[in-house]
Structure 1
Amino acid sequence: MRIIRFSKENTIHLAAYTDDKKIYLLPYHDFFDIVRLADDQETTPLQIINNMIAELMPLELNIEDLDLLVPIEAPEVWAAGVTYLKSKEARNYEATGGKLDATTFYDKVYNAPRPEIFFKSTSARTKGTGQDLYIRSDSHWQIPEPELGLVLNKEGNIIGYTAGNDMSSRDIEGENPLYLPQAKIWRNSCSIGPAIRLAETVMDPYQFQITCRIFRHEKQVFQGSASTGQLKRKFDELVSYLIKDNEIFDGTILLTGTCIVPPNEFTLEDGDRVEIDISGIGVLNNPIKKQPKSITVG
């Protein structure tokens, strides 16, 4: 069972999207309204939704017909770094100017008890499937980072899973690790979607298959695949460090790191398109654009 949001005739709708591809409108505006109702009734979101749709008729629409939005307006998006071996190797390459056998602080964090956790985005900066992501204007080496996202409640419980694109400026981060916020956070630098997979419907979250495809002039120029089974750390471990002495909010997203990195000579260009396909969740599809001209405030 997945949760989607879409716009139709200037109205935003919340809907359940079943595994047999049926869409049912839900009488709520926000996924966490259902989560809180389930808590109040001492049941689960899945049971609440199943009870609702048992009395409803599905829409006579396919998901491809819908103007999908972010499945949740996440108040904050956080991300974990260097959680896969491939990510560690890529960060080492950036930080050493291309030395393949060098050892850096990325090796240390990969093996350290404490993971890397950093702030990634706010709801205003986070886009949904079909919406443009922007290339940072002062970077010359940019890539998408396809990641599984954990949908958390304010207690840090994993309520669902979504796909995320943690856009990254490899040259800026590689120049100096203190530049990480600039390498990760800018306008339209993050996307999530297209749906939330209810956590209670996932038997093993370490069996998600992630595929990233990049298209240039609608010709595929890159494809890579990975599994969450390749993670160095467990999801509960990452969450425990996020919430340690920290307040989070219902709908917070924690991106769990990437294991798919394009070749070192690759950088995104204006007009590219990125697809991130996660089994059981769907395809997060974003066009890549140059930054629009900034408005000068006098």
Structure 2
Amino acid sequence: DLMERDDAVAVVREADAGHGWRLDELLEAPVGRRDVPHLLAPVDLQVIKAAGVTFAGSLLERVIEERTGGDPAQAARVRERVTKAVGGTLDGIRPGSPEADRARELLVAEGLWSQYLEVGIGPDPEVFTKAPVLSAVGVGADIGVLGASVWNNPEPEVVLVVDSRGRVRGATLGNDVNLRDIEGRSALLLGRAKDNNASCAIGPFIRLLDEDFDLDTVRGLDIGLRIDGTDGYVLHGNSTMRGISRDVLDLVAATHGPHHQYPDGFVLFTGTLFAPTEDRQAPGTGFTHEYGDVVRISSPRLGALVNTVVPSEQAAPWTFGVRALTRNLARRGVL
């Protein structure tokens, strides 16, 4: 209910809450340990939505996935061809604009049109349901990659927190884990590629919009990424909201409005510029996760979201759904 209140910021600032745990102890708990007090994802009944292909840089990687049919061994060859053919054609193009229409005509003539280009520069963005209500994991939890996937990567994103009236009330960080081989086989496998056990991480906290942190602040956020493998492998990456192709309010409007309501509000992953291409396991195959990778997504205004990669099949099963929440609240006398 906090996100529905017009005075949410004042309520938080003036709240006289008890202190059950020390924050530093919660944040210092070993990554992956769920048998000690830990932070949950900072959302509950909000629907978890995501916008895809919102950055021109990562858009080309989606086209490459499609052209390879999800085969990482072909990635380097296809990347060279697609980059040469498309290259700077998409730079600075506003989706749905006359310039975008002309780019579309050019790419169709070259035989390079793609369903990803359609949602990347066409009038309508890709918006999908990332995960079920209450299924997201928080900071310090294991994050799941489907065991069948051999080509995958993290997706560090800004996540908008939106109330039932479609107003952006805050922002946080998220990892929209991407299984490139599975989605590359067919976009119709998006659910298989995106919605798996523990495959959605959100946190560490929600930063409410106020006089010092507004939508323009969100539009300028920089996001850092660091991956540490168990073998000493380290990868640094980054994304910036300044490179997004569609304004965040346009993404919200595509999600919520007369065409679709969310009585409990929703959160919206806004996409990422990050699309790693560095070889890790074999020449020409690009990056993919290995189990045990520690993924740290951070932004100075939003904190850090840290998770450890495990097979989705071995992550802690999701058991706390809406029925469990209702029983929990009733048992505590809250209802």
User: Does 1:159 find its partner at 2:122?
Assistant: no
Contact 1:125 1:186 in 2 (8 A): no
Distance change in 2, residues 1:276/1:51 (3 Å): same
Could you say which residue in structure 2 is the equivalent of 1:210? 223
Query: 1:251 offset after TM fit, Å?
Result: 4.4
Contact 1:72 1:251 in 2 (8 A): no
Alignment of 1:99-114 (within 5 A): 99-100=78-79, 101-102=81-82, 103=112, 104-114=114-124
Contact 2:147 2:313 in 1 (8 A): no
Paired amino acid for 2:308? P
User: Does 1:280 find its partner at 2:290?
Assistant: no
Could you say which residue in structure 1 is the equivalent of 2:46? 75
Distance change in 2, residues 1:136/1:202 (3 Å): same
SS in 2 for 1:68: coil
Q: Which of 184-193 and 197-206 deviates more? A: 197-206
User: Does 1:230 find its partner at 2:201?
Assistant: no
Q: Structure 2 unaligned segments of length 5 or more: list them.
A: 29-36, 69-74, 83-111, 278-284, 318-335
In structure 2, C-alpha distance between the alignment counterparts of 1:291 and 1:168, rounded to whole Å: 13
Q: Which of 112-121 and 197-206 deviates more? A: 197-206
Q: Cα deviation per residue 1:80-136 (whole Å; 9 max; x = unaligned)?
A: 011001220110111111323443222222111111111100234310011111120
Q: Cα deviation per residue 1:199-220 (whole Å; 9 max; x = unaligned)?
A: 2241421111101111101735
Residue 139 (structure 1) aligned to one of 144, 149, 152: 149
In structure 2, C-alpha distance between the alignment counterparts of 1:238 and 1:72, rounded to whole Å: 20
Q: Which of 217-226 and 61-70 deviates more? A: 61-70
SS in 1 for 2:242: helix
Alignment of 1:45-64 (within 5 A): 45-52=8-15, 62=24, 64=27
Query: 1:193 offset after TM fit, Å?
Result: 0.1
Distance change in 2, residues 1:232/1:48 (3 Å): same
SS in 2 for 1:257: coil
SS in 2 for 1:226: strand
Alignment of 1:80-99 (within 5 A): 80-97=51-68, 98=75, 99=78
In structure 2, C-alpha distance between the alignment counterparts of 1:133 and 1:259, rounded to whole Å: 21
Q: Name the count of aligned residue pairs.
A: 257
Instruction: With a CA cutoff of 8 Å and minimum separation of 6, indicate the structure with the bigger relative contact order.
Output: 2
Query: 1:187 offset after TM fit, Å?
Result: 0.9
Distance change in 2, residues 1:61/1:106 (3 Å): closer
Query: 1:227 offset after TM fit, Å?
Result: 1.2
Between structures 1 and 2, the one with greater strand share: 1
In structure 1, C-alpha distance between the alignment counterparts of 2:174 and 2:147, rounded to whole Å: 22
Could you say which residue in structure 1 is the equivalent of 2:89? none
Between structures 1 and 2, the one with greater helix share: 2
User: Does 1:247 find its partner at 2:210?
Assistant: no
Could you say which residue in structure 2 is the equivalent of 1:256? 270
Paired amino acid for 1:139? S
SS in 1 for 2:15: helix
Contact 2:296 2:304 in 1 (8 A): yes
In structure 1, C-alpha distance between the alignment counterparts of 2:14 and 2:301, rounded to whole Å: 22
Q: Cα deviation per residue 1:207-243 (whole Å; 9 max; x = unaligned)?
A: 1110111110173521111211110001110011111
Paired amino acid for 1:190? C
In structure 2, C-alpha distance between the alignment counterparts of 1:60 and 1:80, rounded to whole Å: 35
Distance change in 2, residues 1:141/1:61 (3 Å): closer
Paired amino acid for 1:241? A
In structure 1, C-alpha distance between the alignment counterparts of 2:288 and 2:302, rounded to whole Å: 27
Contact 2:153 2:178 in 1 (8 A): yes
Could you say which residue in structure 1 is the equivalent of 2:326? none
Q: Cα deviation per residue 1:43-96 (whole Å; 9 max; x = unaligned)?
A: x3222223336x999x87536357222112243211001100122011011111
Identity value in percent = 31
User: Does 1:291 find its partner at 2:312?
Assistant: yes
How does the TM-score come out when normalised to structure 1?
0.79
How does the TM-score come out when normalised to structure 2?
0.70
In structure 1, C-alpha distance between the alignment counterparts of 2:22 and 2:312, rounded to whole Å: 38
Distance change in 2, residues 1:143/1:61 (3 Å): closer
